[in-house]
Amino acid sequence: MPIIWFVFLALFAAAAAFFIVVGWKVSTMILHPKVVAYDTVIDKEAERGNFTRAWFEEHVRLEEFTLRSQFGYDLHCALWPRESGRVFSDGRPRVAVLVHGYTYCLLGGIKYASILHELGFDCVFYDHRNHGLSGRAPTTMGACESRDLARVCAWARERFGEDAVLGTHGESMGAATVMLHAALDPRLAFAMEDCGYSDLNAELRFAMRHRFHLPAYPALPIASLFSRLRGGVFFGSVAPKRALARCASVPMLFIHGDADDLVPDYMLAENYNAKAGAKTMRVFAGAAHASCYTEDRAAYRAYVEAFLRENGVI
């Protein structure tokens, strides 16, 4: 065999090995991310200017509890009860479930909950599987997490009554979870998503090109296969924009920063355009990923309150 064929085969084998290794590493990053330590999150939020530790310790009284996921692990949850005496004119409680993002924990939802709590909501939080103090299971970027959100919402209806006005709010992976869940629960009174991706495959292609400077093909299909074989899901099965077409009964607020370099802002338009029924879109100029609240807390608060009022939630 001519030497050129040996060279070709050696290069082909090296390239195949390289993409297999990259695919394995990408699948590991998704399935088993390095998460932020639970006991550091309040200080991180304070460093970002979202609130102070003094404010948190004075005003936030969390009642922690555990729920069993349908997948066999425990979900660490917490309730921030509304202020005593806060009653809406129709007598129905208002409840919001806050859903945190990739690598974070339930305490990341406190800044958003501060708006809702001030408006009279009971606020419920939980740690995703493989995050915070919840049980360990492969992260699926919203696929299984949306079922865990359904479990938490079911608990909220048991706790506050079937007639409770219940809605959700999610950030990043939590936003994808909220969108996927909205297609499963037409009884939701509202859903709010902040910087959620429209399609996991497209999100990972973007990240590989712009963050890791690597070609998405063939590493991404290999990573998707590894993900499925290692207990996760095929990346192509996580596509919130497909779920949004089935959410006509749920009013939804879409929020995104136009300087987001992790989840590109074109995904905001994809999600918004896919949503059937009542919807509102708000763009924060200059805001990076998951930083809209930090960028302009007053505007964020105003947008949330206006959305809830316009859709008869409060």
pLDDT digits (tens, 9 = 90+) for 47-65: 999 999 999 999 999 999 9
pTM: 0.94
CA–CA distance from 264 to each of 87, 268, 296 (Å)?
A: 40, 8, 20
21 Cβ partners below 8 Å, 6+ apart?
Answer: none
Q: How many CA within 13 A on the CB side of residue 128?
A: 35
Amino acid at 259: A
Instruction: Report the CATH number of the 36-199+240-310 domain.
Output: 3.40.50.1820
| pLDDT for position 1 | 53
With CA atoms as reference, report the closest residue to 46 among 37, 54, 38, 34.
54
What pLDDT score was predicted for residue 8? 61
Domain positions in the chain are: 36-199+240-310
pLDDT of residue 35: 96
Q: What is the pLDDT of residue 156?
A: 98
The pLDDT value given to residue 119: 97
Q: Which pLDDT value is given to residue 11? A: 66
Q: What local confidence, expressed as pLDDT, does residue 87 receive?
A: 85
- What's the pLDDT at 5? 64
What's residue 80's pLDDT?
Answer: 98
Residues of the chain with pLDDT under 50: none
**Dihedral-angle region of residue 69 (phi above 0 means left; psi in -120 to 50 means alpha; beta otherwise):** beta
Say how far apart CA 197 and CA 142 lie, in whole Å: 10
pLDDT for 146-182, tens place per residue? Answer: 999 999 999 999 999 999 999 999 999 999 999 999 9
Query: In 3D, which of 141, 111, 143, 104 has the Cα closest to residue 126?
Result: 104
